Structure 1
Amino acid sequence: MKQALFLLLLAFSRDVLAWGTPDWVKAAAKMPLPAYAAGTAGVVLIDETTATVRNDGAIETRRRQAFRILSTEGRDLAEARVDFSSLVELVSFHAWSIAGNGDEWEVKEREAMERGLSDNTELYTDEKRKIIQIPAAEPGTVTAFEYVTRERAPQVLQDSWTFQRELPVRSARYTLVLPRGWSHDETWFNAVAKEPRIDGESVIWEVADVPAIADEVGRPPQRAVAGRLAVNFYPHAQTARRSWNDIGVWYNGLIAGRRTITPEMRAKVTELTAGDVDTIGNIAKLAGFVQKDIRYVAIEIGVGGHQPHAASEIFANRYGDCKDKVTLLSAMLQAIGVESHYVIATTRRGTVDQQFASLDAFNHVIIAIRLPREMKSNALHAIVEHPKAGRLLLFDPTSMTTPLGELPGYAQRNRGLLITETGGDLIELPPFAPETNQFHRTATLALDDAGLLSGVVTETSRGTVAAALREKLQPLTNPKRLQMIEQQVGLHLANFKISNLNIYNLDDMAKNLVIRYTLSASSYGKKAGPLLLVRPRVLGEKAETQLDLKNRKYDYETEGSSLQVDEIEIAVPPSFTPDELPQNTKIANETLSYESETSFDKGVLHYKRQYRMKQYDVPVGRLAELNKAFAAILADERSSAVFKAKN
């Protein structure tokens, strides 16, 4: 019995104790390191990728990474991951570690955990992930892994190498091995271009001592700021760079035949549009059906990550993902004689670069509906004019809180790939004026002699402001909705109570969202001897943040364009008269404007302010000006009116 147990333990230990740690891992462990800032979680010692392309276009990728854990915050560097699917085969996967005391460990692929990558919006996906937990996850340990994947039929012959991350990188290398006679082009992002080294059929790029991406408030998405190399390769001598039109031609092959309308679908179109001869009204009815009645569920197998299901299948099942919803809506629009196009989009602003045509940055699909030029569209803000496709109304049928004529915040001032019959064209999605995204708060309140503030608050919103609130409120029960409002009010008041909460037009996106409640807050008026202090700004904050500009590297992404107005009235006890009111504030620059005014008339303290955010992002060179504006707004929000007791 003891001998059997010994053999079992020995068999297990051989899976994790290294009998031959690779030389590249040992070399990484001996790398000298420069001094890093205190608290740095770890450092990437080696990051090597070799992409070998075969004559049939298949790509084999070997990835090696080694890290040194520098603090307890870096323990997650002992987790190695690799994703694969029916399109990308996992060939091999190993991991190793060398502890601070010199102990060496190895974990083989059979010890890895495997799980699917589907979430609660996906019914099924064949994308999977293997995870290896590497032993000795302590400061001083070097962890490493290596995997090999094989993509037999790439969608597009290109690759992307991101060599900068939120850890410093000591050494990184990308090797492209092409068959004889093939060619490539390269594009660098957020980094100085490096000349490659040629070694036979291998093209090798190397970088060293790459700084970490700073974790800054309001920083653009990592892809928008990380150092990256993108490569196209061609099975011939290069004649022209791969273009956005080429990507569109490829996508047209995926959507061909998918928008065929069936008798059942045509009958539904007739039912929805019966008695309405107004084109935009009919478009709105069909858009509303797809938006509300087609549940968002994804089934992605192989190329299904890009290719939609047939419209008939989506209609019958009453579910689909973003590209499926666009497919069904496009088919139904055909039935009323309205032309439309796919727009491949992204929810991450700033990640699509015009100079490199690729689907890599896209993660979403919306629709562009062609409108007659003579149609009035003053109430439709999501309009773009295209030289060939004409006047286009953009719409996201996946967003359950964005009505026809508007765009979700992530799509505003972004980029999308318009798919036409002849190919693709990268277009600019429109920015929205602040007036389209409004928030208006009114409060009629009274303060008693004990300092209790009470009254009614009404908050009216539209555009992206309303969409964000609807997204939070719609799934909640009434008690949870009250709790959410209480949490928001609790950021500004203590010892308060909310009652008589009413929410209007929560599910009617065509109307403004209105939230009304009764508020009472004890000890709001602060007495200091014969003086009474009252803060005119009862609720809400307009200044987004205060930025640390000492070592700021990146631009700042705002919360988006908006126009926000507060109008507060506080009836003051008749036994007090004003002694000093806060000074009015007025700020105006290229990014925002802000005006506040405090007055007292007939026993009522009036406070009115207007905040207009005009930009979606602010260059780092203008952040000092932005900080100054935010500081002035904060000072105004904290100021108090001073009253004195009447003699």
Structure 2
Amino acid sequence: MNQIRIILLFVVTLGGYVIATASESSNLVDEAWKAWEQNDHTLVEQKFQAAIKADPKNTRAYIGLAFLYEIERKEKQSWETFRNVLTSEQDPSPYLYAEWVTAKISLGQQTNPSIQEMMESVSKKGDKEGILKAMAHEVLGNIYQRKGQLEKAKEHYKAIGALENWAIIGPFENISASGFNTVYAPELEFDMKKEYLGKNNVPARWFIPPVIKLDKWLDFQSYFGDRQSILYANTFVFSPKKQTVSVRIGTSGSIKTYLNDFEIIRDSLETNNDFDTYIVETELQEGWNRLLVKVGSSELERCNFLARITDSHGGQIIGLKSTNEPQQYKKVTSTSVQIIPLYALEFFKKKIEENPNHIENYIMLADCYLRNDQAIEAELILRKAQKLSPNCGLIYKYFLDAYSRGRKRDELITTYEKMVALGKDLIDALQYKYSQYLDNEDFDHAEDILNKLEKLQPGSESVLSSRIELYGKKKLREKIIQLAKEGYEKFPTNWKYVNLVCLIDYEMTKKQDGTIEILKKFLQSDYSDGALSFLAKAYLEASQFEEWEKTYQKMLEYSPASPGYYFQMANVFSGLLKYDRAAEMMDKALSFCPSCGNYWSKLGEVQRSDKKNAEAIESYQKALRFIPTDYDSRDILRELNGKKAIFTILGEGNIDSLVKAAPTADKQPEATAAIILDKSTRVVYPQGASETSQELLVRLFNDKGIDRFKEYYLSYNSYSQSLIIEKAVTIKSDGSEIRGDISKNHIVFKSLEKNDFIYIKWHIRNYNSGKLAEHFWDEFYFNGYFPYKNAEFSLLIPKGMDFHYQAQNLSIEPKVTTTPDGQLFEWKMQNQEPIVYEADMPDIEEVGKLIRISSIPDWNYLVNWYAEIAQTKAQSTYEIKEKVDELMPNPSALTKEQKIKTIYDYITENIRYSSVSFRQSGLIPQKARDVLVNKIGDCKDVATLGIAMLREVGIPANYVLVNSGDEEQRNNIPPSIEFNHCIVAVDNGSNPPTFLDLTANNHPVGSIPTMDRDAFSLVIKTGNSAPITLPRVQAAAPNMIAKTTLTLDELNNAVIDNSTEYTGVLTANLRARFRSKTQSEREKSMQSELSSEFPSVKLTKFDVSNLEDLTSSVTYKYTCGIPNYMTDAGDFKLVKIPWRDDLRADDALSYERRTYPMKYRSGVDTSYEEMNIKLPADFEPLDVPKPKKISSPIADYSVEYSYSGGVLNAKRTFIYKKSLVQTNQYDEFKKFYNAVVKEDAKQILLKKL
């Protein structure tokens, strides 16, 4: 009995001891995290180690310590610590999943035996979800592949259980992710024989890829040359019975998956994720089942997927088989679909719920998100962790990854700076400072940082690499060589140093022998593509052709789905004149990518070199089917068909004869230069590709002409066009030529003298995409501000192709000729007199003689085009929701107008406007979220953000494309994209929309900026089929109301007290002028303005209201003294009324008659001024002026006077009605204007009482 009591007592005591040590260990972990708040890594390590000593089963301690070693770049120690979790946890799979791709595991996969042992164990034992098992097979496959054990690698890849038998088709349009919700033909049917219209109207048809990657990921980039595309893969899966299965997919790109034509998976977000990211439990029908995968890329460079069908535990299902051949299957209109959440995510969410103060669970959950590119989700969970430990350097390090993946540059930099401030020993912070110093070429401080890093990471490869980088910047060649050799000795399996010593060896010996030996040694331990490619290049340069080919064959053995290797081999064989082998390689490349036009072009080049012209013609024709804008292939094809170059046939200017016949300066005494030839010839090909050849010959008559043309910029859009300058010369009077200096589209002509010529011949090729790929538009001027001797525009189009043209200010019809190459339209004019400039005349776009052409069918087509490329960019995201909630925490309490103002004020005040012309930039806006995050954007970017934020509060809005700044009369012009600005139209139902220009900083909401008033515009709204003219006034009109008291004394001095209120857009100028200035700076500015009118003025008081709030009015008040304001005239005094808005003489009204209309631009719609003039004692007006009213179609004017009690009162009103003064209205308006000028300048004669 005593013995039993003793045993029981021992058990109880032991149990209490276990509980006590576990509790002590848990407390120590908490203390470690508290120490991490101070970033005391030494104390953090001590606490975690003590916790492990107290309780060797404490998972929290192992995880925390592993995190510490990882942030200190001690990856091996981190893994050795973390691996204890595999035994401390009954089911370690969630932990393994979270940390699978972190440095502690990924960096040691090839070299650390214990990591490889773990992988082998997981691949055999697996996990209950079956995800880690598949991932372990992939890692092991990669390990054995790089070891050169290819058969063993294939076994592991096969064990993944991926579907391998696919037919694929594409590309289809996905610009701005527009294809995600577009139903293309492959979603409706599977027909291997049919051909469909794909992206840019090129043919697309199903085909079976020869092979997929060894790791079973189907990489679309191996089979299609286009990016920003939708691509499809189809397989048929046989099931011996109707059964429930797990369909699992991982992808790079957006994803939709259909089973028997029913959608089972969808995610529009483009991410680079891993195995089994999307798992659904659904039903296979008995017999054959169609599985269709739709992957899209519009932002990512990668586009791939891996699909598996398994049981609920990720295991193989007996009896399933797949084929890429068409099979009969039963379509379903509905089926059971259950989304299976990722187990690791759910595990750590539950852990956080159970223990909300355990920081490590937040970090593990963030790792789960980050490994699948879910940056926002990771950021949000890290924010929660940061609330527990605001200064923990580990959390900040994780933010770096989240912000980097989320493309949040400002937050990334801010985080680095915070880490710098947190502690001197944070390696990421030190590396950030090193990079800064290096970029600024502050080499001494950069070296100081490296010395600190070396103390923290003795013998570190990364520090050595950074030091080589530093010496490279300092151009210390000998030190680079020394360190490279040192790095190679210490890290012989590190490709960076292997690559460096190979380059150094060749530089020193000029032979490839040493390089070849170094690479062969490296490849014994690591079969990497980079090393094999380098070795092949070395063999080639050493003329060891047989070894070169063997190396490429080895590359293809290890990367069989790499058609680029065949392309590279074809280039080499072609250079060796082995055309049969080159053609063989290209045939293999084309079996992977039959729609790659550049591959067909290369095959044509090989066949042409081999004198197989008929085959070459066929290959070049196929190249053009897939890339209509392959203009070089077009030229070669014409040559092979025995045709001359297309522009040669269409004719070129006879420059010699034009030079001889050109007028000299004495024949054109009024001109500074003459356009002898302006010739443009545009050729449009089937499918819409087009190119233009242009010639310009100008004779310069004097110095003004030379100054005008000594530098010349050729206009073209670098985003969608290429420019080829064939010739740019000065032609002297004796016929000799001097080449101009060319830099991109800028030409500088040298040695110019009176009567010299400049001659330019250039070529522009167009590369439109999407809906615009098959269309063209253009305009050509037949006159200008110089005499035009010869102006010619030609258009060659395929027979039957439709287009519109509009002739402006001319009545000529084109000469139409049918040629073997299509229909030729020619417009020619000669001896056009120059447009003589008149002040305030309309721009040449209105008064010039020109034609506009376009094949775009109508404006609705453009509406649909821009909606397609822009609307997806205005989608809401977490950041937008968060910002809107911050700005409007209680939106239901706000009116629609208040919501609009809140959003408008935020964007115009906080998003920096980067001015890029709409038509000269990429047409696609940034995502609204990116504009918000980076706080910068051009007009279409801020419009996108505005639309997204307005929609977030239930206010529909649309883009508006605008031609701002010219108020041009653009009636009935053909559709084109010649817009230069983008704003927003807030939809008001049946009422006119409210227009918002979100680039209009300092403007009150609803005002129409001056550049937008009366502008030609197109609202991008479904169903819209016509352009509009923006209103001149929308909310508060641009008015001025001034009240002035002018106090005069007997000594002729004056004091002015003025209060002027400006409304509408007029407030923007005042805000721009005064808002950011101090009071003294404001007073100085106002003093300067008054001094221009009254030289001796002294400002004594000045105040401006409503500068900060973007209200519709701004008022300023000032008081100033003016000595000698009045003029003595004998016993009389003369006083001028100091109107604020008085009219002055205008050069535009100095002509006896005008040839062109006049644009009378007034920033003020209505100005009203009231003037109270307090006369000196003993003086009164000799006569009180009579009231006057003057009216015209352009403006109205009135002024009236009264006198009482020593005060002369004057009231002036000017109302602006329209801007364009037609020539038949000129005399009337001139008379009106001059009468107003006279009245405004009127002086009052005062007499002494």
Common topology (TM > 0.5): yes
1:211 aligned to 2:833? yes
| Amino acid corresponding to residue 746 of structure 2 in structure 1 | I
SS in 2 for 1:445: strand
Aligned residue in 1 for 2:1247: 644
Deviation of 1:615 (Å): 1.0
Larger displacement relative to structure 2 (483-492 or 280-289) = 483-492
Aligned to 1:612: 1215
The alignment partner of 1:397 has SS state of: coil
1:186 aligned partner, one-letter code: Y
- Which residue in the other structure is 1:28 paired with? 658
Q: How far 1:500 sits from its partner (Å)?
A: 2.1
More displaced stretch, 289-298 vs 259-268: 289-298
Moved more, 310-319 or 70-79: 70-79
Q: Which residue of 1 aligns with 2:1015?
A: 414
The answer to whether the 8 A contact 1:435-1:563 is kept is: no
Alpha-carbon distance between aligned partners in 2 of 1:589 and 1:434, rounded to the nearest angstrom: 25
Of 980, 996, 1004, which residue of structure 2 is paired with 1:403?
A: 1004
- Tell me which residue corresponds to 2:688: 57
Give the C-alpha shift of residue 181 in structure 1: 4.1
Q: Which moved more, 1:248-257 or 1:51-60?
A: 51-60
Residue aligning to 1:524: 1125
Greater share of helix residues, 1 or 2?
Answer: 2
| Number of the residue aligned with 1:245 | 860
Residue 851 of structure 2 is matched in structure 1 by 229
Judged with a 3 Å threshold, the aligned counterparts in structure 2 of structure 1 residues 434 and 307 are, in CA distance, closer, same or farther, namely: closer
Of the three residues 968, 971, 975, the one matched with 1:351 is 968
Cα distance in 2 for residues equivalent to 1:566 and 1:311: 45
Q: Name the counterpart of 2:637.
A: none
Distance in structure 1 (CA, Å) of the matches to 2:776 and 2:1179: 77
Q: 1:448 aligns with which of 1049, 1071, 1080?
A: 1049
The equivalences for 1:553-572 within 5 A come to 553-560=1155-1162, 562-572=1165-1175
**CA RMSD in angstroms, aligned pairs only:** 2.7
CA contact (8 A) 1:68 1:143 kept: yes
Distance in 2 between the 1:252 and 1:145 partners? 39
Q: Are positions 1:74 and 2:705 aligned together?
A: yes
Please name the residue that 1:494 is paired with.
1095
Change over 3 Å in CA distance of 1:614–1:298 after alignment to 2: closer
Q: Distance in 1 between matches of 2:949 and 2:911?
A: 13
Indicate which of 881, 885, 890 corresponds to 1:266.
881
Matches for 1:100-139 after TM superposition, within 5 Å: 100=733, 102=734, 104-107=736-739, 111-114=741-744, 130-139=745-754
Quickly say closer, same or farther: Cα 1:423–1:605, change in 2 above 3 A: closer
Residue 1152 of structure 2 corresponds to which residue in structure 1?
Answer: 550
Amino acid of the residue matched to residue 81 of structure 1? Y
CA distance in 1, matches of 2:663, 2:1138: 52
Alpha-carbon distance between aligned partners in 2 of 1:141 and 1:36, rounded to the nearest angstrom: 15
Q: Does residue 168 of structure 1 match 2:754?
A: no
Q: What's the % identity of the aligned pairs?
A: 21
| Residue aligned with 2:688, SS | coil
Q: Describe the superposition over 1:214-255 as per-residue Cα deviations: whole angstroms up to 9, x where unpaired.
A: 32222223212222111124xxxxxxx721111111112211
Letter in 2 for 1:89: S
Distance 1:476 1:589, change over 3 A: same
- Measured in 2, the distance between the counterparts of 1:442 and 1:59 equals 62
- CA offsets per residue over residues 472-513 of structure 1, 9 Å max, x none? 444656555445434543453332222322221123221411
Deviations 1:511-535 (A, max 9, x none): 4111222222221110022111111
Partner residue in 2 for 1:577: 1180
Give the match for residue 459 of structure 1.
1060
Contact map agreement 1:55 1:179 (CA 8 A) in 2: yes
| Structure 1 residue aligned with 2:902 | 285
State the one-letter code of the partner of 1:187.
Q
Q: Which amino acid aligns with 1:112?
A: I
Tell me the distance in 1 between the aligned counterparts of 2:1124 and 2:743.
Answer: 57
SS at match of 1:461: strand
Give the direction of change, closer, same or farther, for the CA distance of 1:610–1:370 in structure 2 (3 Å limit): same
Taking the aligned partners of 1:338 and 1:517, their CA distance within structure 2 comes to 42
- For residues 497 and 40 of structure 1, do their structure 2 counterparts lie closer, same or farther at Cα, with a shift above 3 Å needed? farther
Residue 417 of structure 1: SS of its match in structure 2? strand
After superposition, residues 465-480 of structure 1 pair within 5 angstroms as: 465-474=1066-1075
User: 1-side partners of 2:1057 and 2:669: how far apart?
Assistant: 50
Which residue of 2 is the match for residue 297 of structure 1?
914
Residue 106 of structure 1 aligns with an amino acid whose one-letter code is I
Q: SS state of the match for residue 642, structure 1?
A: strand
Partner of 1:333: 950
Comparing 274-283 with 23-32, which one deviates more in the overlay?
Answer: 23-32
| Kept in 1: contact 2:1064–2:1112 (CA 8 A) | no
Q: Deviations over 1:125-144 (max 9, x none)?
A: xxxxx222212333322222
| 2-structure distance, mates of 1:182, 1:538 | 62
Higher deviation after alignment, 144-153 or 52-61: 52-61
The 1:299–1:460 alpha-carbon spacing in structure 2 relative to 1, beyond 3 Å, is closer
Is 2:768 the counterpart of 1:153?
A: yes
CA contact (8 A) 1:310 1:327 kept: yes
Contact 2:854 2:976 in 1 (8 A): no
Contact 1:455 1:520 in 2 (8 A): yes
* Other structure's SS at 1:630 match: helix
**Paired letter, 2:727:** H
Partner of 2:813: 194
Runs of at least 5 residues in structure 1 that lack an aligned partner in the other structure: 1-21, 115-129, 234-240, 374-384, 386-390
Q: Is the 8 A contact 2:814 2:825 kept in 1?
A: no
Query: For residues 5-56 of structure 1, what are the alpha-carbon distances to aligned partners after superposition, in whole Å with 9 as ceiling and x for unaligned?
Result: xxxxxxxxxxxxxxxxx98333332235498775432111110011122234
Amino acid at match of 2:784: R
In the aligned structure 2, how far is the partner of 1:574 from the partner of 1:255? Answer: 70
For 1:507, the aligned partner's letter is E
Task: Give the CA deviation at 1:368.
Answer: 1.0
Deviation string for 1:91-148 (max 9, x for gaps)?
Answer: 2242222334x2623315xx3134xxxxxxxxxxxxxxx2222123333222221111
Q: Deviations over 1:397-441 (max 9, x none)?
A: 111132222211232333310111345531232233898221122
**Whole-Å separation in 2 of the counterparts to 1:67 and 1:369:** 49
State the distance in 2 between where 1:89 and 1:162 align: 22
Distance in structure 2 (CA, Å) of the matches to 1:313 and 1:44: 47
SS in 2 for 1:623: helix
- What letter matches 2:1190 in structure 1? I
State the Cα distance separating 1:565 from its structure 2 match.
Answer: 1.4
Look up the SS of the partner of 2:987 in the other structure.
strand
Note closer, same or farther for the CA distance 1:539–1:311 as it changes in structure 2 (3 Å cut).
Answer: closer
Q: For each residue in 1:355-412, what CA deviation from the matched residue of structure 2 results, as whole angstroms up to 9, or x when unmatched?
A: 2243444211111112366xxxxxxxxxxx3xxxxx4211111111322222112323
Distance 1:279 1:78 in 2: 56
SS in 1 for 2:714: strand
Pair 1:412–1:421, CA change in 2 (3 A): same
- Change in CA separation of 1:639 and 1:571 when aligned onto 2, cut-off 3 Å: same
Q: Kindly name which structure, 1 or 2, has the bigger radius of gyration based on alpha carbons.
A: 2
Deviation digits for residues 290-344 of structure 1, max 9, x if unmatched?
2211111257999953211111211211111111111111111222111111111
The structure-2 alpha-carbon separation of the partners of 1:140 and 1:152, relative to structure 1 and needing over 3 Å to count, comes to: same
Would you say the 8 A contact 1:166–1:212 is kept in 2? yes
What amino acid sits opposite 1:641 in the alignment?
A: I
**Taking structure 1 as reference, are residues 68 and 481 closer, same or farther at Cα in structure 2, changes over 3 Å only?**
farther
Structure 2 matches for 1:82-93, cutoff 5 A? Answer: 82-84=714-716, 85-93=718-726
Q: Please, which runs of 5 or more residues in structure 2 have no aligned partner?
A: 1-651
Change (3 A) 1:401 1:644: same
Corresponding letter in the other structure for 1:554: Y
- Name the counterpart of 2:216: none
Q: TM-score, normalised by structure 2?
A: 0.45
Q: 1:450-493 CA deviation, whole Å, 9 max, x = no partner?
A: 21111322221001222333344446565554454345434533
Partner amino acid, structure 2, of 1:54: Y
Work out the number of aligned pairs and report it.
584
C-alpha displacement of 1:601? 1.9
Distance 1:606 1:302, change over 3 A: closer
